[in-house]
A and B are shown apart, each in its own frame.
Chain A
Amino acid sequence: MRFTEILAFAVRGVTANKLRSALTTLGIMIGVASVILLIAVGNGASQSVQQSIAGLGTNILTVSPQRAQAGSTTKPLTVADATALADPVEAPAVKSASPVVSASATASHAATSYSVQQFIGTDPAYFGTTNSEVAQGALFSTDDVRQGRKVVVIGATVATQLFPSSQPVGQSILVNNIPFTVVGVLATKGSSGLQDADDIAVAPLSTVQNALAGYGSLSQIVVQATSADKLADAQAQVTTILDGRHKIGYGQTADYRVLSQEQLLSARTATTDTFTVLLASVAAISLLVGGIGVTNIMLVTVTERIREIGIRKAVGARRGSILGQFLLEATMLSLFGGALGVAAGFIGSGFTIAGITPVVVPSSVLLAFAVSALIGLFFGSYPASRAARLRPIEALRHE
C-alpha cells in the first residue's frame, strides 16, 4: 500500500462531497483570516503610536508646573528658568530649553473659523526639539520673538481647515480677533494614536504672552538633551538647577515635574496595548468557533462514513491505511482552508480599517495556520481511529 494510493483515496474523499468540503474550508478560512486581520489591526494601532513617539524624539524632557505641598509656595516656571536650563556649564547634557505657553484659541480666516487644539507660544528652538519641519514658507526667528511680532506657523490640519483652496503663507488670520500673519506651514506628522499632531499653531512666545496668555507661569519648558543616551543626565541636571532656583529642600515635593516623552507616551501605549489584547481575544474566539465548526464537520464526515470504513476493512484495508486516508483528508481541508485564510488576511490587511493601517504580525499567521490545522487533524483523527479499530462487521452494521 503506497502513500500515493492513500493520497488518491483522500483526494477522492474530499472531492466526493464538494459542498461539505467547501463549507469546512470556509470555516477554517474565516477563523484564520480573522485572527490574522484583527491582530494586524491591533499591531497597526500600536505601531502608529510608536512611530509618533519616535517622531517626537526620544531625547526630550518636558518640565511642567505642579501644585506643591500645602504650606509651601508654588513658584511659577519662568523664562528665566528656561534660560538657566540652557546653561552649558551647569547643564552640559542639555542642548536647548524652550519655554512654552499654550492658549486656547479660535483662528479664523474670511468666513471660516476653526478652534485650534494646541496654540502655543515658544522660541524657534522648539521646532528643532520636536522634529517639526516646515513645508511651506519659513519658521519665525529669534528676532520675531524679541520684537513680539504677530506671526504664526500653522500645522497641516489647521492649514486645510482655514485655507481649503488657497495658499496660507502670507495670509492674515484672526486669532481670538487679533490679526496674525501666517509665515509657514509645518510638514505633516500624522496622528499619534489619540491626538492629531498637525492640529497646531505656533507663534513667538512674547507675542502669545502679550496678546493671549498673559505673563503668568509657563505651561512647560521643553528640554532637548544632547543625545538620547544623555537623557538621564539631562534629567538630573534639570532637577538640580530647578531645585536650586525654586528653593526645594531635600525631601520636599517640587513644584514642577520632569517627564521624558517616553514616560508621557507610555500611558498612550498602554491604551493601545489594551486595544490589541481586546482584538486578539475576539480573534481567538472566532478561531475557536471556526475550530468547533471544523470538528463538527469532521465528526459528521467520519460517522457518516463508518460503513465505508467497514467496506474497506472487509476487502482487506489495514487500520493504518484507513487512518492515513482520513488524516490526509483532514490535513488537505485544513491546509487548503488555512492557505485561503492567510491569503484573505493579507488582502484584508491592505485596507485601512477604522483609520488604522493594519500591520500583519508574522507569528500570528503561523499561529492561526498551525492551530486550525491541528484542530482539523486532532478532531478528524480521533473518530477515524475509533472507526478504524472497529471489527469490519460492526462498522458495516453501523447506521
Chain B
Amino acid sequence: MKTDIILSGVGGQGILSIAATIAIAALDNELYIKQSEVHGMSQRGGAVQSHLRISNKPIASDLIPLGESDLIISVEPMEGLRYIPYLSSAGWLVTNTKPFINIDNYPDKNELMSTITSFKNHIALDADKISRELQSPRSSNIVMLGAASPFIKIPYESFEEGIKKIFGRKGEEVVRLNIDALKAGREFAEKAIHNDAG
C-alpha cells in the first residue's frame, strides 16, 4: 500500500497544514512517511509544492518520481497543472478552482477550467466558497483535504483525529469548523465520483 501525493499552491496559502494533517493521520496508522517541503525564497508569493509519500513499507526517495504520483492536491487551479508530469495515468487531480492572481500573464479562467476538466480523473471545487458558506473562511485548505481524502489510503476518521491534534489548542470551535470543512470536501468529492461513475 502506498499513496504518493503532490501538494501545490502559492507561497503563503498554507499547503503545509494539509501535509501536516495527512502526516499525523498516517502516523496514527503506523505508516511510513516522507514529506519534502519548500522553504525560503520561493515562499514569497511564488509557486510552492510539497511531496508527501505514505506507505506500509519503508520509503526510499524523499521526492516522487515523475509519473508516479497517485494524487495532486492543489489549493490553486493553475498550480496543480504545473505538476501534472508527476501524475500517474490512474492518478487524480484534486484542485481548488479559486485562482490566486499575482502575475500579469495569468491564464484565461475558462481556458484554465477546460484544461483541468480535460483530465478524466479530476475533482474541481471552489473550496473558498464552501468554507465561506461554513462560516469558516480559513478552512478552505481542509475542504481541499476532505475532497482529496477518498484517494488517500487512510481511514477517514484518522483525518478527523489529525485535525483534533493540530487545531486542538485553538479551541473546540476551531476543531468543529475544520471537521465540518473536511466533511464538506469529502461529500463534494464522493458526489463527483458517483456522478462520474453513473
A binds B: no
